[in-house]
Chain A
Amino acid sequence: MKTKTIIALTISLLASQAFVSCVENDETAIVNCKVTIKNTFPEVIPADAKIIDGKATFYETNSGTTYARDLNSEEDLMLPVGLYNVEARATAEYVNPDELTVEKNIRASASAVVIQADTEISLEWFITMESSSFIFSEMYHTGSLNAAGTGGLYDHFFRIYNNTDEVLYADGLGIAESSFTNTKTTTYEILTEANDRNVNFTAQAIWVIPGNGTDVPVQPGESLLIVDQAIDWSAQVEGALDLSHADFEWWDDNPRDTDNPEVPNLEKWYSYSLTIWLTNNQCTKSYALVRFPEGMTSTDYLANYRGSFDYISAIGTYMTNDKSYLIPNEWIIDGVNLSNKEQWLYGALSPQIDISYASISDIERDPNRFGWKHVRRVASTAPDGRKTLLDTNDSATDFILKRAKE
């Protein structure tokens, strides 16, 4: 849904005093409306597919109340008046051209749905993909408390995990940070087609693991620790992490950055700034793990994927950004949207890559967020102890928050 539509709908919701044919409960003054669902399936699923085990959660953003509803229920779907974010998952059952009955796991989401009268909600379903690759298993972007306890340190890191049962090579793998912010602070409508999140991921910084293709093997269930400064932070500030034995650090050619000679550096393909690249400690950006096409060099990439874009800002001014590059969605092997609950608006990643977001806190700039990291849940543990991590392209489900320092 486009931003301007959201705003227009919000306004009309707030302005409207007349509720049409909704059921009013006199005692509580809650007005319930009947909601019908219109299903739209992706091309491979025929329109007459049957939905089984359909479950939807309706999150009312003003009250913060969540309503769970069964999509296969015989009863009418009733919901109180409000502004909703909808998450739905189901299995689609249909008969394919070979006359075989097929079941596919499908998911859908919709944001800023206004219910103020009996409403039809359109759900665009898509098939969920299961990953068999490297994934982000941990992310630490808040940092441990600094020496005065006033803010976070940059003992940030990414942990990249081999979630398969075979050896994978991490060289050439890219980590990209979104240009777009996922929160309401910079509400905007992107006007340039190439920057549509369903086509390309718009990145403002791209770092790549060096190597010739087989230099950085990662065993199944093993991971790489990639940090800003490979430093024993705990020796500097009590309670911080020891990252001196990281696998890689992102070093900026800047006299104010440090370089650990024992930890190799990432290659910096692109950055929107000359300053030291810092991951945003408010956790409002998205990160993607990128497998560039075979043989693609930085020069090839930089020559062909510039991603300048136009947008309308929250205050109604036309803006441009010419410090961005495009990453086609097909190259992305994993991605995570980050946000806080208060300001979540819209993910920079395609919903097929991440349908939700990993939340850092209920409120923006929560001073208590420091010291917390995002950790992926374990889906299963093999007899040899190797863990398979949960990857349902739904970061809200896949990730939990844990203390960075146990």
Chain B
Amino acid sequence: MRLILTRLIITVVAVLSSLSAMGYTLRVTVFDDAEDEPIVGASARLTRGEAKLASVSDADGVAVFTKVSGTYELVVEFVGMSGYKQKVSISKDTEIVVKLADGKALDEIVVTATESKGATSSSKIGTEAMRHLQPSSISDVLELLPGGVSTDPKMGEANIVHLRQAQPVSSSENPDYSTDALGTSFVIDGVPVNTNADMQRVSSSQSGDNADRSTVGKGVDMRSISTDDIESIEVIRGIPSVEYGEITSGVVNIKRKEGVRNLEARFKADMQSRLFYVGKGFKMPTDGWTVNVSADYLDSKVDPRNTRENYKRLTGSLRSLLKRPVGAFELSWNSSLNYSGTFERDRNDPDLTINNTVDYYESNNNTFSFNNTLVFTPDKSRRLPTFTFTQGFSYAVSDLHREKTVASSRIYPLPVSMEPGPHYVGYLPMLYLANLDVEGRPMTAFARFAAQYRANTGILGHRLKGGVEWNFSKNYGNGQVYDIARPISAEMTSRPRPFKDIPAENQLSAYVEEMMTMKLGEHQLELMAGLRETQLMNLSSDYYLSWRPYIDPRVNFSWRLQSLMVASQPMRFEFAGGIGQHTKMPVAAYLFPDPIYRDFSQLNYYHNEERYRTMNVMTYVVDPTNYDLRAARNLKWEARIGADYRGNSLSVTYFRENMTDGFRQSGFVERYVYNAYDASGFDPYAVDRAPTIEELPYVEEVRQRAETQTTNGSRTLKQGVEYTLKTRRFPKLNTVITINGAWLRTVLDNSQALWYKPTVVVDGKELQYVGLYDDTDGSTYESFNTNIMFDTYVPELKLNFSIAMQNVWYTSSQRHFLTGVPSYYLDPDGVIHKFTEESASDPQLSNLIRHYASAAFDENRVPFASNINFKATKKLFNDRIDVALYVNRILSITPEYQRYGQTIRRHLSPYFGMEINFKI
């Protein structure tokens, strides 16, 4: 530390002494062109021959050079922004305003994600990076985050997001740990995508029917977001500003293109899909008014050999931007009308079907949204706040249609009662055509009023933000619509419920945030601290969550050290960190679950004579609502170190996130009482009719079952180190080397003891004891990867190509040790006992002991694998045409390995695609 200080002092002295005693003052004000906000910490340099002067912009974005005169070259740079380079002549005190735009530096094409320099860790992905990556949907873009590796598109299932997770949780596996995906907010032009009213699924215990296509409780299906209209994506992996709510994990902040633009068209084809895009930005007759229109179509075959299973996406948007002065303010009014349609189809091959049977799945989703953002920016001279009003509205018409020939394999009694009590039931026919529709009409509305105010006091710069936000969601659909007597699968036992019976979810939030910047010499300190308060309104007072306020404090800070001169070039270090609480409210499907219907056979009399047949069941309707359900909360903290030197940058982040109350389906014990009627003494021939329950003797039977409801019983603990090292573009070679990757460790386990009953029949009856287990499941996942990418730009050829070597050093999973012995058990009378050694030898109770092989807790480690991906883009005809191609896994190295004496071989096949872009 002392050494650094000494060096700093020497540097400062050297710089000061080199200044001439005479001259003028040059004030360079640096603005972010898009945000219209001053940039703090931008580096400004003046050069003339050997003479070099450097300064850094302060809280107002001002970098000052004193005692200068004559002609200099002024260079202004800020990481992640385009650079500024201009000759300036100074013959008097001069003020220059420099506006930096997002993205590339001078002559620079950035084809990777850029680590942010702000207080929180985030990755910024620009247009060039996306063009080079050639994505079909936003899920492809996540490859660019630290820890990401290329994967083939999976268009046959929902693509759910997973940030900083060692084991990507797929949409179908591990539904108990999907809160992490649910708690990742997708914000498009300032309006968050609200999926709380999504209930689109076929609820059937047996069929597992297309469960991997459903996103209920899993957040956004990334397949549905096209990338072509996107100007930039910022993925906030760290602690987001309190502006962002309804999150546990992070934010994917999407900014779409605006302003006058050429007609752009894109055609892409890869092994599964074809994509077409067209877009243009017009200048309207009125001053300051531009309109953008665009449309995009994706046709994807899940398996190219199978033309009957496909996924199609059609999006279109009309966006208007109007800028005009209103009093002391300049108004910027952004308005957009958007349509997004996804169409999924899966039907059996008519040539292969037996006897013209039908099996058809179709899911169409048409979402319309209308959003407005009005920003009132005060005149620079006035000390007034900036006001922002954002409004969002969306309505989706989601129709899932299922059609299937059901040929029953058994005679099934068919209980269909929606009411509790005893009922006589009929039988399912042996053959019928079943139809099922799931009609979802989720509507969401969003409104936010926000203000921002800047002030400077001495060396301190302040930026105050505050806002109030209202979030509404309700599904007006009819839900599952089908003939209950002709279910889509013979085994199906669920019963329909209209979505519109479920009340709306109303959420009110408010936030306030202060960002303080301090300039101490050349040191920059930034502190961002905020509070966000959220509650659910109009929820019945039976719920714990009714009006229950949740407060999320979040703090981020960064300290950019004074430059060190190393070989007469500045080197800057940055330390940053943050800690914050994040809250995600449960979705409607969790707050208002479908009732559970249970039927118990009271009289089962399938006589050989049809007229004597009868069957009576006792129906129970159980409400699995968990009134004690809480919000899911994630406490995150992180620490980061960054360094910049001669256009090379390094960033290393350590993070830890602990969410102990993720949503989970957990058991609760329900007790059912019914009568078992004894018809053995009944002679149907004597009375020539079937028996009725009133005339038969009976015994009372009790059954205990472990039913499931949503609780806060899942823990997700994420830890890791993310790193990115990016070199400058080496001259001559014109190559940038980017090395990024992550070591990630994710622990998934249950955070609450769980009721569980093994599904076994012991001695003629289903097991009547239910165990309470402290440890029911839990695994630790790890992964460590390093991606090394060489991207080369040849300006003469306008050719950009990259070779990425994606090394996964290892991945591992390990189950946590489980004893398998319950701590307590519930006996058939509903009394709780401690589970003792005696219990373990009881013929019934011993079945509660879950057996685990000791080796089941061994670590399953998959060793090194490496892929080489190749991508190239070339501009033709004055940049009017852009052609690109990519081959993932052009070469892959996957050494075989041994596991329990078996040789495991891995095979990977290449995946490729190409595209052409027009700019006219």
Contacts and interface: CB of A to CB of B under 8 A. Distances in A.
Interface of A: 4, 7-8, 11, 143, 146-154, 191, 228-232, 236-237, 244-245, 251-262, 267-274, 276, 298-299, 302-303, 306, 308-312, 315-323, 367
22 contacts: A7-B903, A146-B407, A146-B408, A147-B430, A231-B411, A232-B608, A252-B761, A256-B413, A257-B410, A257-B413, A258-B606, A261-B607, A262-B607, A269-B763, A273-B761, A298-B764, A299-B843, A303-B843, A315-B904, A316-B899, A316-B904, A317-B860
B354 interface: yes
The 6 closest A-B pairs by CB, nearest first: A310-B853, A148-B407, A322-B851, A308-B851, A147-B431, A258-B606
Given A4-B900, A323-B760, A154 B410 contact: yes
A51 to B, nearest CB: 35
A254 B414 CA distance: 11
Interface in B680-722: 680, 682
Given A8-B901, A322-B849, A261 B679 contact: yes
B765 interface: yes
Contacts of A148: 354-355, 357, 405, 407, 431
Contact of B900 (A230, A236, A316): A316
A262 B854 CA distance: 49
B822 to A, nearest CB: 13
Contact of A302 (B427, B599, B762, B856): B762
Nearest to B858: A318
Interface in B427-441: 427, 430-431
Nearest to B601: A255
A7 B903 CA distance: 9
A285 B359 CA distance: 30
B606 A231 contact: yes
Given A259-B605, A299-B763, A310 B355 contact: no
Given A231-B606, A262-B608, A323 B900 contact: no
A272 B760 contact: yes
A174 to B, nearest CB: 13
A320 B354 contact: no
Interface string B754-776: 00001111111110000000000
Contacts of B900: 4, 312, 316, 318
Contacts of A323: 758, 760
Contact of B604 (A257, A299, A316): A257
Contact of B430 (A232, A237, A306, A321): A237
Contact of A154 (B355, B409, B605, B762): B409
A40 to B, nearest CB: 25
Contacts of B427: 258
Contacts of B850: 322
A269 B853 CA distance: 26
B855 A261 contact: no
A79 B409 CA distance: 47
B604 A270 contact: no
B35 interface: no
Q: Chain A: interface secondary structure? A: loop
A138 B331 CA distance: 86
B842 to A, nearest CB: 7
B600 interface: yes
Nearest to B603: A259
B856 A274 contact: no
A150 to B, nearest CB: 5
A317 B856 CA distance: 8
A259 B604 contact: yes
A308 B820 CA distance: 12
Given A253-B601, A255-B601, A303-B846, A146 B430 contact: yes
Given A148-B357, A154-B410, A273-B761, 20 more contacts: A4-B900, A146-B407, A146-B409, A147-B408, A148-B355, A149-B407, A228-B410, A256-B412, A258-B413, A259-B601, A259-B606, A260-B608, A261-B679, A272-B759, A274-B759, A310-B854, A312-B902, A316-B902, A316-B904, A320-B853
A256 B491 contact: yes
Contacts of B605: 259, 261
Contact of A318 (B410, B606, B842, B856): B856
Contact of B409 (A152, A320, A321): A152
Nearest to B857: A318
Interface in B371-411: 405, 407-411
Given A146-B430, A236-B430, A318 B855 contact: yes
Nearest to A205: B761
Contacts of A258: 411, 413, 427, 604, 606, 615
Contacts of A321: 851
B159 to A, nearest CB: 25
A302 B679 CA distance: 30
A244 B608 contact: yes
Q: A230, A245, A320, A367 — which one has the most chain B CB atoms within 10 A of its CB?
A: A320
B174 interface: no
A306 to B, nearest CB: 6
A302 B761 CA distance: 11
A253 B493 CA distance: 16
Interface string B891-902: 000000001111
